[in-house]
Structure 1
Amino acid sequence: MLIDSHCHLDFPVFDARREQVVESARQAGIGAIVVPGVTAEHWQRCLDLSTRGAEGVSLYPALGLHPCFMDQHRPVDIERLASEVESHREALVAIGEIGLDFQIDGFDPEAQTELLVAQLKIAKAANLPVLLHVRKAHDQMLKQLRRFALPRAGIVHAFSGSEQQAQEYLKLGFKLGFGGAISYSRATKLRRLAAELPLTSIVLETDAPDMALSDWRDAPNEPMRVADVAGIIAQLRGISVEEVAETTSRTVLELLELLEPKR
């Protein structure tokens, strides 16, 4: 059983064929999908998906305010997030997708950090883990995580940092998400980390519909491709796909306190 720890199944690109996408994931051995929210306007889509569920695949929602959508966030959204967390605490598995992105054009580090801090406070108060988006800002993120000392850590989604930064996240209890990027031969640093880090520190993801794997770069990514990610990691490490699936899924189940899907 595989788990896609980060998939935007609520995005409109899936509207016309969402059931087919989930069924394809089920057939590929995916038993659970974590669906993070990115803007307040669309949080209900994540909640509705988890409520409706899917035959053979468990869907788990997270809610957050993504740093790449700063122009869509409003000051009231933090209060609304706190309220949504209180109302849906039993359903939510994390606060996310939140973070810092110092790579996008015209980024405002102060505004992003203020938004991140407000959401880390909510996560700490609710005793929820976090799903982190971090680009070109790992040291700044680590500084905030050390400051807050969250009771439950979380996942650094689509990890792109150095080995030293990876080790610092692991010291704080975080796990590192690996997805389609490791399918590209030029991603030598990521592939080396996927091969050498403790398997218990790794979780699988697709970030669908984004982060397409090299062999499927001309189409929207899908959660079924997490099986291909597992295969690549198994090959890089010289172990079985079954071992990768068992270890990474157990890590997500324990980290996010998910109910184990019935297969």
Structure 2
Amino acid sequence: MFVDSHCHINFPELAQRMPELLENMRQKQVRHALCVSVDLPTLPQVMALAEQYPHIWASVGVHPDYPDTEEPTEALLLQLANHPKVVAIGETGLDYYRLEGDLEWQRARFRTHIAASRACGKPLIIHTRAAADDTLRIMREAGAAVQDGGAGGVMHCFTESLAVAEAAQEMGFYISFSGIVTFKNAKALQEVAAAVDVSRILIETDAPYLAPVPHRGKINEPAYVSHVAQYLADLKGMPLEEFARRTTDNFFTLFAHAKEHADAAR
């Protein structure tokens, strides 16, 4: 059984194919998926999917790539996170790759999400691109680390160095690998994935983006997380079934509210 720990199935190119998408997940044994919020205007779409389907979970947050959107307050994030199908805060973080100029607003937004995560006890989904040093610094300063009272979280769609992965793990964070790890030109990332212990690994699609080999260049979907799992299992010399079980257990360990809700629904 697989879990897609990060996807955006509310995006139009996937939402319009929902019955097919869910059937493809079933056939590939992708039993759960976390639909991740990127802004407040589209959050109702995310929540509607989570409310309709028992195996779909939701997060609440505003992505760092959205400068001209409603700014979340800690109080609003806490109000939204109170929903039983919301299992995480994010995605949040820093992205210095796409945007330039004074990005203090990104750093302030990141701190707001960390504060909300600490207050509600739900883990963070962190996006970082071309901003690893500042991301780790703010995580430490704002108390995102488990040892500092934070709820921990995951570094999603990880593409950074092993040193960054180790620093995040020291703060109690998991490392999530997407279809990028299957790309032929991702040798450095593959070395990182080989070094990260399976006890700290999650798998994801980031659908509709970053489809793994053999679907690279196509619209991604949660069913394709099975290819990410197969690649990483082979990389680590593990049976696929064991790798699937371990990463699924990791998901429900990190996102404890999902486990509580799933157990209660049995």
TM over 0.5: yes
5 Å matches for 1:239-250? 239-250=238-249
1:191-234 Cα shifts (integer Å, max 9, x gaps)? 11112211111100000001112321232101001100010001
Q: CA deviation at 1:79?
A: 4.8
Q: Partner of 2:85 in structure 1?
A: 91
- Following superposition, the deviation at residue 26 of structure 1 comes to 1.3
Partners of 1:146 and 1:241 in 2: CA distance:
35
Aligned to 1:220: 219
Question: Partners of 1:107 and 1:92 in 2: how far apart?
Answer: 33
SS of the aligned residue for 2:62 comes to coil
CA distance in 2, matches of 1:205, 1:75: 27
1:122 deviates by: 1.1
Kept after mapping to 2: 8 A contact 1:206/1:222: yes
Q: Where do residues 123-138 of structure 1 align in structure 2 (5 Å cutoff)?
A: 123-138=117-132
Q: Deviations over 1:83-137 (max 9, x none)?
A: 3224x2x221000111100100435421100111111111111111010111011
| Structure-to-structure mapping, 1:35-184, within 5 angstroms | 35-53=35-53, 58-71=55-68, 73-75=69-71, 79-86=75-82, 88=83, 90-106=84-100, 108-150=102-144, 151-184=150-183
- Structure 2 unaligned blocks of 5 or more: 145-149
Distance 2:255 2:153 in 1: 8
Task: Say if 1:61 and 1:93, in contact at 8 Å, map to a contact too.
Answer: yes
What is the one-letter code of the residue matched to 2:205?
Answer: T
Partners of 2:30 and 2:223 within 8 A in 1: yes
Give the unaligned 5+ runs of structure 1.
none
Aligned to 1:2: 2
Number of aligned positions between the proteins: 257
Residue identity over aligned pairs, in percent, reads: 29
Alignment correspondent of 1:191: 190
Matching residue's letter, 2:113 = Q
Instruction: Using structure 2 for the length normalisation, give the TM-score.
Output: 0.91
| C-alpha contact 1:36 1:62 (8 A) present in aligned 2 | yes
* Paired letter, 2:61: G
SS at match of 1:220: coil
Distance in 1 between the 2:101 and 2:46 partners? 26
RMSD of aligned alpha carbons = 1.8
Per-residue deviation, residues 20-43 of structure 1 (Å, max 9, x unmatched) = 111101110111101110010011
Query: In structure 2, how many angstroms separate the alpha carbons of the residues matched to 1:174 and 1:79?
Result: 24
Q: Structure 2: how far apart are the matches of 1:68 and 1:32?
A: 26
**Native 8 Å contact 2:159 2:189 kept in 1:** yes
Specify the SS of the correspondent of 2:65. helix
| Cα displacement string for residues 128-178 of structure 1 (whole angstroms, at most 9, x for unaligned residues) | 101011101111111111122232101100111111111000000000110
Structure 1 residue runs of 4 or more that deviate by more than 6 Å after TM superposition:
none
Partner secondary structure for residue 151 of structure 2: coil
Partner of 2:147: none
